[in-house]
Amino acid sequence: MFFDLDWAQLGWNEFAWPWAFAAVLLPLLVRLLPKARQSGATALRVPFYSALVSSRQLVGSAHRVIRILVLCAWLLLILAAARPQHVGERIELPVSGRDLLMAVDISGSMRQDDMVFQGRRVTRLTAVKAVASEFLSRRIGDRLGLILFGTQAYLQTPLTFDRETILTLLGEAQIGLAGQETAIGDALGLALKHLQQVEGEQKVLILLTDGANTTGSVEPLEAARLAASEGLTVYTIGIGADQQQLNSLFGARLRNNLADLDEPTLQQIAALTGGQYFRAKSLGDLQSIYARLDALEAVTSEPEIFRPISERYYWPLGTALILALFIMLLQIRGIGVQHAD
């Protein structure tokens, strides 16, 4: 009868350790064991022994109630020891086995507002945030990481399945926080160092910048060769309009932004590591580039089965503790009654 109960109505539907129910027989085994011989020597003097004896001499219904409560508390403890759990429905989690890092340039040049988003001019970093966030939100099954770099390169987020954290930290990135210059080689080196410390079948880095390597301790092409030897595929994206109209007191003039972008180095990095180089002159270009990256590094794998588990042992355990306190109060009351008599 005990096992025929509808446990789901009580908040659980499985037991992690069902073998714990065998402990129900322990009190019976203790009663069947031969009692130890009593010796004449006193091992320990208990000043309140008479009170303990009197508490055992409770008669009538109070004594029966205590025995029932003790039995219930013991059964509840056994139930808690069996670890009742609520196991949810099966959830399929597609896991690609791919480790995908995104390195985003936040140097001072990313402040240029030569991109158009929702009908207004925005900075390059704002456009990157808008498009990259959509791309990352689709990467279900990939372990994602984020590197921000300027004069220095920082691992903002280690590889994780938590896409919400990645999107939050990318949205909070500010221009100039890592310095005003551009250390492409350091960003590559940091990505390689981090990926060497984790196990993964496919390792991909998407590096996005609008400039040339102007600082840092690692030469970009040297870092690319090391990345190739470690099986890291690097996709590089050069962002920025070819020309930008600047208005001044002397009239409008065109600025050549292409001179700031080291396309040959970015192309060589991609070629050395088996990736591709993309040029993003507008927000539309960025969107199409990330769509192509989705096709090149598609998420295709067998899903893993996940069933959420919630522990429920604290309900019978808490009830057993409450019963134990109630039994203690009854015994104290019984001692008081005995002394009053």
Q: Report the C-alpha gap between 83 and 7 in whole angstroms.
A: 12
Is residue 176 located within the same domain as residue 249? yes
What separation in angstroms does the CA of 184 have from each of 148, 197, 269?
Answer: 10, 21, 10
The whole domain housing 257 covers 93-304
**Residues 75 and 285 sit within 8 Å (Cβ to Cβ):** no
Q: Which of 227-236, 248-257, 331-340 has the lowest mean pLDDT?
A: 248-257
Q: Is the residue at 219 inside a domain?
A: yes
Task: Give CA–CA dist 21/3, Å, rounded.
Answer: 10
Spatial separation of the C-alpha atoms in residues 75 and 16, rounded to whole Å = 17
Does residue 337 share a domain with residue 207? no
Considering the chain, what is the average pLDDT of its residues?
Answer: 78
Domain count, the chain: 2
Supply the CATH number for residue 273's domain: 3.40.50.410
* Confidence bin at 327 (pLDDT 50/70/90): confident
Same domain, 229 and 289: yes
Residues 3-23, mean pLDDT to the nearest whole number:
68
Helix (H) / strand (E) element for 39: namely none
Determine which of 75-89, 94-108, 268-282 has the lowest per-residue pLDDT on average.
94-108
**213 within a domain of the structure (yes/no):** yes
* pLDDT of amino acid 3: 45
Based on the domain organization, do 192 and 336 belong to the same domain? no
Give the up-direction half-sphere exposure of residue 101: CA atoms within 13 A in the CB hemisphere.
31
Distances (CA, A) of 123 to 107, 131, 241, 269: 12, 13, 11, 26
SS3 of residue 177 by DSSP = coil
105: phi > 0 → left, psi -120 to 50 → alpha, else beta; which? beta
**What is the identity of the amino acid at 194?**
H
Same domain, 132 and 271: yes
160 and 277 both lie in a single domain: yes
Give the model's pLDDT for residue 52: 47
129 closest CA partner among 108, 106, 107: 106
**Pair 126, 270 in one domain:** yes
Is 340 contained in some domain? yes
Q: Give mean pLDDT, residues 182-198.
A: 90
| Dihedral sign from CA coordinates of 53, 56, 62, 68 | positive
pTM for the whole structure: 0.60
- Give the Cβ contact number of residue 254 at 10 Å: 10
Is it the case that residue 257 has pLDDT exceeding 60?
no
Q: Would the pLDDT of 5 be above 80? A: no
Give rounded-to-5 percent helix, strand, coil for the chain: 45, 25, 30
More confident residue, 4 or 141: 141
Same domain, 252 and 108: yes
Residues 247 and 338 in one domain: no
pLDDT digits (tens, 9 = 90+) for 236-249: 998 887 655 545 45
211 and 81 together in one domain: no
Q: What is the pLDDT of residues 307-323, one digit of tens each?
A: 777 888 888 888 888 98
CA 218 to centroid of chain Cα atoms = 31
For residue range 104-157, list pLDDT tens digits in order. Answer: 999 988 888 878 777 788 888 998 888 888 888 888 778 889 999 999 999 999
What local confidence, expressed as pLDDT, does residue 227 receive?
Answer: 92
Residue 121 lies in a domain: yes
Assess whether 265 and 161 both reside in one domain. Answer: yes
- Local confidence band at 72 (pLDDT 50, 70, 90 cut-offs): confident
Over residues 35-71, the pLDDT tens digits come to: 655 555 555 555 544 554 455 554 555 677 777 888 8
With the C-alpha atoms ordered 159, 165, 168, 173, is the resulting torsion angle positive or negative? Answer: negative
Q: Which of 184, 245, 249 is nearest to 217 (CA)?
A: 184
